[in-house]
Amino acid sequence: MKLTILGCYAATPRTMTNPTSQVLEIKNHMFLIDCGEGTQVQLRKHKIRFSKINHIFISHLHGDHFFGLPGLVSTFRLLGREAEMHIYGPKGIKESINLLLKLGNSYTNYNLVFHELTSKDSVLVYEDDKVSVETIPLKHRVYTNGFLFKEKVGSRTLNVEVANSYGIEKCYFQNIKNGKDIILDDGRTIENKELTFDPPIPKSYAFCSDTAYKPDIVPIIKDVDILYHEATFLEEQAAIAPKTRHSTAKEAASIAKQANVGQLILGHYSTRYKSIEPFKVEASEIFEHVLLADDGKEFVF
Ligand SMILES: [Zn+2]
Ligand SMILES: [Zn+2]
């Protein structure tokens, strides 16, 4: 699993910082999460192929998470995209994008499939045989969801060395991959688990931005490997956080601790701060494993 941070600052795009957007590579998918203004430029900068993105998850309809989407949708058209594009986001997202396309008489020549969200509970929004994506209802000034991405347990893989040591012929390898035991010519049964490697332990990633401190998300994100949680403010501005429905670094750390996550990544920093290091310092007082997101940073799990 690889996470590329395209932007992780609050409010407005600036010369050196970008609003929220990130790409999660998980089991051959390239999931785009949020799409602040400038996202398509950031995609190009990081050499992420536009054609590899087939699913876009939008947390909420504030500009710093969403204003890059109309531009990206339009660019896909100019690039001659034909594959379907699935967009998951709050109700209203379809109307807003379609209105812009209609006014510009520039409908897409590929199919845009909107999956509009309205539930206040966590719901499954995407699933295939390798991954699932569920919403994480958040507490913000408008209807907002985070997203929980989970790998599924993969299949066992053939241990060629052990198979060869028993003199098993190649034509039986597919049976072994399919989970079958093997009966040797001398009548001995070799169990499948001896002939295969355990599948890798599935990983999970939770994206939570924007939100006020909301401990009732803890059961949803319990034990995730990686939690990205917004931390717009430091302690000095703690009083503003609940009013604007954002979190402090310490609140993000508290959520991480309660949920027993493997690693916390902070982001969505207010642009009032000259340095983001104090976010790590404050969060680390509560939770040990803290990393700071920054534009262009990649995390491989
Ligand atoms: Zn925001
Ligand atoms: Zn917001």
Number of domains in the chain: 2
Domain that holds residue 239: 2-154+200-300
Helix axes 93-103, 69-78, angle to 10 degrees: 50
pLDDT in tens, 10-46: 988 888 899 999 999 999 999 999 999 999 999 999 9
Tell me the three state secondary structure of residue 81. Answer: coil
* Closest to 117 measured CA to CA, from 141, 136, 139, 140: 136
Q: Are 250 and 287 in contact (CB under 8 A)?
A: no
CA of 102 to the centre of ligand 2 (A): 26
Q: What is the DSSP string of 159-226?
A: -HHHHHHTT--GGGHHHHHTT--EE-TTS-EE-HHHHEEPPPPP-EEEEE-S-S--GGGHHHHTT-SE
- The reply to whether 64 and 188 lie within a common domain is no
Q: Which residues of 75-91 are buried (b: 16+ CB within 10 A; e: fewer)?
A: ebeeeebeeebbbbbbe
- The reply to whether 242 and 227 lie within a common domain is yes
C-alpha 210/C-alpha 261 separation (Å) is 19
Q: Is the pLDDT of residue 209 over 90?
A: yes
Residue 119: CB partners within 8 Å, gap ≥ 6? 135, 137
CA of 65 to the centre of ligand 1 (A): 6
Q: Which ligand is nearest to the CA of 212?
A: 2
Q: How many CB atoms lie within 10 A of CB 224?
A: 22
CA of 31 to the centre of ligand 1 (A): 19
- The reply to whether 124 and 173 lie within a common domain is no
Catalytically active residues, by annotation: 64
Residues around ion ligand 2, judged by CB within 5 A, are 62, 210
- CA quadruple 205, 60, 84, 22: dihedral sign: negative
Residues around ion ligand 1, judged by CB within 5 A, are 64, 210
Residue 79: CB partners within 8 Å, gap ≥ 6? 50, 51
pLDDT in tens, 227-279: 999 999 999 999 999 999 999 999 999 999 999 999 999 999 999 999 999 99
CA of 172 to the centre of ligand 1 (A): 55
- The reply to whether 183 and 242 lie within a common domain is no
pLDDT value at residue 13:
86
Residue type, 143: Y
Q: Are 36 and 70 in contact (CB under 8 A)?
A: no
Q: What is the CATH number of the domain that holds 123?
A: 3.60.15.10
- The reply to whether 221 and 184 lie within a common domain is no
**Model's pTM, two decimal places?**
0.93
3-state helix, strand, coil in the chain (%, to 5): 30, 30, 40
CA of 267 to the centre of ligand 1 (A): 10
pLDDT value at residue 155:
86
* Token pair for 289: 């494993």
Mean pLDDT over the full length of the chain: 96
C-alpha 163/C-alpha 143 separation (Å) is 55
- The reply to whether 275 and 189 lie within a common domain is no
Q: Which ligand is nearest to the CA of 90?
A: 2
- The reply to whether 49 and 31 lie within a common domain is yes
Q: Is the pLDDT of residue 205 over 90?
A: yes
Helix axes 249-259, 277-284, angle to 10 degrees: 40
- The reply to whether 18 and 150 lie within a common domain is yes
- The reply to whether 142 and 278 lie within a common domain is yes
Burial class (CB in 10 A: 0-12, 13-18, 19+), 60: buried
In DSSP terms, 230 is beta-bridged to: 267
C-alpha 124/C-alpha 21 separation (Å) is 21
- The reply to whether 51 and 106 lie within a common domain is yes
- The reply to whether 189 and 245 lie within a common domain is no
CA of 9 to the centre of ligand 1 (A): 8
C-alpha 143/C-alpha 137 separation (Å) is 8
Q: Which ligand is nearest to the CA of 211?
A: 2
Domain end: 145, 180, 197, which one? Answer: 197
Name the DSSP class of 260. T
- The reply to whether 42 and 76 lie within a common domain is yes
pLDDT value at residue 106:
87
Q: Which ligand is nearest to the CA of 19?
A: 1
